[in-house]
Amino acid sequence: MRLPILAALLAVLVSPATLRSEEGMWTFDNLPLKALKAQYAFEPDKAWLDHLRLASVRLSGGSASFVSADGLVLTNHHMVRGNVQRLSTRERDLLKDGFVAATREQELKVPGLELFVLVSMENISERVLQAGQAVKSEAEALRARERETQKAREELRTKTGLTVEPVALYQGGETWLYVYRKFTDVRLVMAPELSVARFGGDHDNFTYPRHHLDFAMVRVYEGGKPYRPEAFLQWSAGGLKTGELALVSGHPGTTNRLWTLAQMEYARDFGTPMQVAASGRRRAILEAFAQRSFEARSQVGGQIYGIDNGLKATKGYLAGLKDVEAMKAVERTETELKKKVAADPKLKALAGGSWAQVQKALIESRKLALELMLVNARGSELLGIALHLVRLPVEVSKIETTRLSEYSSAALAPLKTRLTQARPIPFNPELELHLLTEGLKEAQSMLGKEHRFIKAMLGGRSAEAVAQEAVAGSKLQDPVEVKRLLEGGAPALATCMDPMVVLARKLDPLQRQLRERSERLVEGPLREHAARIARARFAVYGKDTYPDATSTLRLSYGTVKEYPANGTLIQPFTTLLGLFDRYEGWGGGEFNLQRDTWRLPARWLERKDKLDLRTPYNLITTNDIIGGNSGSPVVDRKGELVGLAFDGNQESLAGRYYYDERTNRTVCVDARAIREVLTKVYDAEHLVKELMGTK
């Protein structure tokens, strides 16, 4: 559990006027350059920042970086663990035994893994704001802003030919378009054994001191050849020392530090407990499938790991919300802003009533939450495809201003491409059947047999029978069939009796009704008034603060630093010696109940004498990060790679809502450890030479 925090410290945790020195996940367009200069005498110029941005990489749920001129990418082992597991067979278990490609020819293509590099950003805030001002209701304004965003997105996508994503910052106070270069030919180069990558397992997760070798390497190819990136990070020949500046470039997932007090209380008392329960049910469904066979676990093992990691994190977030003193600090900060808004006639007209409107929307949200969570495709990929097929002809026939935003003219081409492109991962009918069956059973148990969704989907039959008939009879797993239906238009879809399409016709009106109520009563008001509060905050404090995390590229800065816990100070570095000590402390080679948790592979034990056991292994910094930063490069003043972020300590989990500089720590793999073990444990001198630029 997190240690109690001093009320005096908390009083300034979230006030924009008194940000702590290392607090903030800053967008590259609004970096705290004056603070960096004042605190660290560090003045990164545009070339330095552009180089770091172009070397930074995003992948699903996390971060990475280019680390060689030949497209080598460094990330966390846990970011590609599911991919590594899917590449495994009974005869070649890459999780258990690890993998090193001795040559480029041995590198393994990773189906479905996509990497993105941010090449440019465009602010369309004023354009989007104007689009929402000509309509009457908040729900209509929401739709209008979404349509304008999609229109701008398609214009830029057509102009650049690249992947364009809309980004809402400052609770909707700003809207940007981020332009990415996407890579789909990605090949596995190196992954250590799971036992060292996740040494200590779930017991050590979100703790420190730590001994994780949580790294892996993949390579990007283009046109069948290794990609030559525009920028890559030079591997440091040295490393960080205590007190030295560390910078982290990555894609933090979600923070809610700009929420109102009412939103945080809603999350504490209702939303987060519901999320924890839902994740637990989802895990049980996946685990039941995984127990069928080695191949089944290979399919879903990565998802199970992700849920386990997320559950522990979410419970930590909840603990932060239950910290009474922290919530009092949030309330004080909000009260201060309210007073300043009330004292200014223009700001009062803009946002004076917004906090009450947010509270009202949250009351409605509580009423709709259960249905919104359960009235959906229930984990079925094919039913999700069928819903798009059913909705497309209906939405396309409407005038632009009345369509659902995901079917705007600008969104149609990318959507059809996603629906008809070749599958990167083969379809698994057994998994599809299992997920749909268990998803329908879950909905029935929670909504009751008389709920309209259950009556519509099951029609008095069992979940097993409905799912079996739908999965066995559907052809939507074939992109060719999906393309045929799309090209056939409304006539082809009207006569289509694919069982998934039949189910989608029943589900569609129920979801539309729920969505209309949610947009009118919850989403529209929340977005409208959160944006108003954001604009008021800009007026009071300026942009001397950072937006909440949104899985977009951010820069954070801090130092290598110890922290107080358990009545002592926690060391800033662990070492290879500490790894072996942890192993021996759990019995070493002798049998014990936790041996699989703190186990070292045979080759590590055989080569222990070759290793410099003084080598720093993991380290902690005061950098402000959160989930999504996994795999982020840690660089020094020179922009050289000195570490790899992979976790936070338990005390950092409350960072979803506020930052505590005393105990919030980022946990990293030290670059020196990676180089040491590549050379002396994995016989991968060829990779070390590539990293160091000496090949």
Pairs from 484-490 (Cβ < 8 Å, separation ≥ 24): 485/389, 486/389, 486/392, 486/416, 486/419, 486/420, 489/393, 490/393, 490/397
Query: What is the per-residue pLDDT across 424-433, written as a single tens digit (0 to 9) for each?
Result: 788 999 999 9
Same domain, 341 and 445: yes
Q: What number of H helices and E strands is found in the chain?
A: 27, 20
Average pLDDT over residues 148-162: 94
Residue 70 lies in a domain: yes
CA distances from 25 to 40, 258, 549, 554, 665 (A): 17, 13, 7, 5, 14
The per-residue pLDDT for 12 is 37
- Higher confidence at residue 129 or residue 369? 369
Residue 413 lies in a domain: no
Same domain, 300 and 282: yes
Going by C-alpha positions, the residue among 603, 616, 609 that lies closest to residue 681 is 603
- Higher confidence at residue 368 or residue 527? 368
Residue 274 lies in a domain: yes
* pLDDT reading at 389 higher than 60: yes
Residue 26 lies in a domain: yes
Compute the distance between CA of residue 118 and CA of residue 54 in angstroms, rounded to an integer.
7
Residues 521, 368 contacting (CB under 8 angstroms) = yes
CA distances from 389 to 385, 397, 426, 453 (A): 6, 13, 21, 20
The per-residue pLDDT for 14 is 42
pLDDT band at 77; cut points 50, 70, 90: very high
The per-residue pLDDT for 1 is 31
The per-residue pLDDT for 695 is 67
Compute the distance between CA of residue 456 and CA of residue 443 in angstroms, rounded to an integer.
12
Peptide bond into 491 cis (omega under 30): no
* pLDDT reading at 412 higher than 90: no
How is residue 26 annotated by DSSP? B
- Higher confidence at residue 79 or residue 423? 79
pLDDT band at 3; cut points 50, 70, 90: very low
* pLDDT reading at 590 higher than 70: no
The per-residue pLDDT for 594 is 54
Average pLDDT over residues 371-379: 97
Q: Where are the beta strands (DSSP E) in 72-147?
A: 72-75, 99-100, 108-109, 115-123
pLDDT band at 140; cut points 50, 70, 90: confident
Residues 78, 244 contacting (CB under 8 angstroms) = no
Rg (CA), the chain: 26
Same domain, 237 and 360: no
User: Of 526, 541, 556, which marks where a domain is finished?
Assistant: 541
- Higher confidence at residue 358 or residue 406? 358
pLDDT band at 689; cut points 50, 70, 90: very high
Residues 83, 112 contacting (CB under 8 angstroms) = yes
DSSP string of 427-460, one letter each residue: --HHHHHHHHHHHHHHHHHHH-TTSHHHHHHHTT
* pLDDT reading at 15 higher than 70: no
Average pLDDT over residues 74-81: 96
- Higher confidence at residue 208 or residue 16? 208
* Residues facing 555 on adjacent strands: 26, 249
High-pLDDT (> 70) share of the chain, %: 96
Same domain, 58 and 39: yes
Residues 120, 179 contacting (CB under 8 angstroms) = yes
Residues 670, 209 contacting (CB under 8 angstroms) = no
Half-sphere exposure of 137 (CA within 13 A, CB side): 10
Least confident window among 2-11, 152-161, 605-614: 2-11
Same domain, 525 and 511: yes
Assign 101 to helix, strand or coil: coil
User: Of 496, 520, 541, which marks where a domain is finished?
Assistant: 541
The per-residue pLDDT for 8 is 32
User: Of 484, 516, 541, which marks where a domain is finished?
Assistant: 541
Compute the distance between CA of residue 388 and CA of residue 11 in angstroms, rounded to an integer.
48
Residue with tokens 């066995």: 472
The per-residue pLDDT for 425 is 82
Same domain, 107 and 239: yes
* pLDDT reading at 100 higher than 70: yes
Average pLDDT over residues 348-353: 95
Query: What is the per-residue pLDDT across 173-219, written as a single tens digit (0 to 9) for each?
Result: 899 999 999 999 999 999 999 999 999 988 898 999 999 999 999 99
Residue 474 lies in a domain: yes
How high is the mean pLDDT of the chain? 92
The per-residue pLDDT for 10 is 37
Query: What is the per-residue pLDDT across 477-487, written as a single tens digit (0 to 9) for each?
Result: 999 999 999 99
Compute the distance between CA of residue 451 and CA of residue 464 in angstroms, rounded to an integer.
18
Compute the distance between CA of residue 278 and CA of residue 211 in angstroms, rounded to an integer.
31
Residue 374: domain span: 261-389+421-541
Same domain, 210 and 312: no
Residue 609 lies in a domain: yes
Specify the CATH number for the domain of residue 556: 2.40.10.120
- Whether this prediction's pTM lies above 0.75 is answered by yes
Compute the distance between CA of residue 381 and CA of residue 192 in angstroms, rounded to an integer.
32
Residues 6+ apart with CB under 8 A from 179: 118, 119, 120, 121, 122, 156, 160, 162, 163, 164
Which burial class, exposed, middle or buried, applies to 121 when counting CB atoms under 10 A from its CB (0-12, 13-18, 19+)?
Answer: middle
Same domain, 238 and 290: no
Same domain, 74 and 148: no
Same domain, 270 and 329: yes
Same domain, 536 and 558: no
* Domains: count for the chain: 3
Residue 18 lies in a domain: yes
Alpha helix positions (H), 375-498? 381-396, 409-420, 429-447, 452-458, 463-473, 479-495
Which two tokens mark 322? 């239950």
The per-residue pLDDT for 20 is 53
The per-residue pLDDT for 595 is 56
Q: Where are the beta strands (DSSP E) in 193-312?
A: 216-222, 225-226, 245-250
CA distances from 595 to 176, 586, 589 (A): 50, 7, 8
Going by C-alpha positions, the residue among 325, 283, 275, 276 that lies closest to residue 301 is 283
* pLDDT reading at 413 higher than 90: no
Which two tokens mark 649? 């300590």
Residue 411 lies in a domain: no
Same domain, 327 and 229: no
pLDDT band at 5; cut points 50, 70, 90: very low
Phi and psi of 121, rounded to 5°?
Answer: -140, 140
Alpha helix positions (H), 459-575? 463-473, 479-495, 499-518, 524-541
Query: What is the per-residue pLDDT across 276-289, written as a single tens digit (0 to 9) for each?
Result: 999 999 999 999 99
Phi and psi of 194, rounded to 5°?
Answer: -60, -35
